[in-house]
Amino acid sequence: MTVKTLLGNCTEPVIFIGRVASAVPLVFTRRGFRVREFLYYLDLCGARSVGIVLMICFLMGGVIGVQAAIQLQKVGSEIFSADLIGFSVLKEFGPLMVAMIATGRAGSAFAAEIGTMQVDEEVSALATMGIRPEAYLVLPKLIAMIIALPVLTVFGDAAGVFGGMLIGVTAMGLPAAAYWGRTVEVLNFTTFALGALKSVVFAVLITMAGCYCGFRASNDALGVGRGATSAVVSSIFLVVVADAVITVLYSFIGY
């Protein structure tokens, strides 16, 4: 890869981010905010993902619960599994699992939708109507995702804690009241809010990666498929890297 293509590969996403960012103020104009599209994506990324989020986070909580049980039984401190599960679900696995589901569901759909529009010259048609494609196509998705992901994280957190509790009560024989008491004792709003804040960052990353891969899709049906694939791969990569960075940042402020 020559230096020129390498630079080209880096400048393109930066230009895209700049275009979207400069379109953000349009949200506050009369025609800039597209309520109908916003609601459509809120439904797609949010409402329709609640079931799968509940199920996956519940299982994830249970799986962590099993591992916690095995280790904590060695030292006879099973009750701390409430801490372990509560913190890891609220701070890590809730937002992360929601992000993975949103990547598979929304990120790939965004790339495929915009990619198809690119191939069908609909994106060009928008531009020649004097409408900014970035504003028209990206902003409704971005806002919907920024709202949907933290809300889904609430559901995911609850399901995860419940899944862990089920293992704690059944496998470790902890009294449900004691487990619940310990959970609400150690977890507070900040724990939850820091996790939800992560999911806002993930929402931006997933939407931007999905839309960018769509706009970049080469001009054929094959390109659309490839765009959707690279949207998923790059979203997962970005989300995990961002998660690592944010976790380090949180540790600096003592969380």
Q: Which residues bind other proteins (CB under 8 A)?
A: 31, 40, 116-117, 120-122, 124-125, 127-132
Residue closer to other proteins by CB (options 78, 134) is 134
Residue closer to other proteins by CB (options 4, 74) is 4
Residue closer to other proteins by CB (options 117, 143) is 117
Residue closer to other proteins by CB (options 59, 126) is 126
- Give Cβ neighbours of residue 180 (< 8 Å, ≥ 6 apart): 165
Q: Can you state the percent helix, strand and coil of the chain, rounding each to 5?
A: 90, 0, 10
CB atoms within 10 A of CB 221: 11
- The amino acid sitting at 93 is F
The minimum distance between CB 235 and other proteins, in angstroms, equals: 23
Residue closer to other proteins by CB (options 46, 140) is 140
Rounded Cα–Cα distance for residues 155 and 192 (Å): 11
- Give Cβ neighbours of residue 190 (< 8 Å, ≥ 6 apart): 255
Which tokens sit at 181? 């008491």
What is the Cα Rg of the chain in Å?
21
Is residue 255 within 8 A of residue 194, CB to CB? The reply is yes
The minimum distance between CB 80 and other proteins, in angstroms, equals: 51
The minimum distance between CB 132 and other proteins, in angstroms, equals: 8
The minimum distance between CB 40 and other proteins, in angstroms, equals: 8
The minimum distance between CB 242 and other proteins, in angstroms, equals: 30
In the block, tokens 């949207």 appear at 231
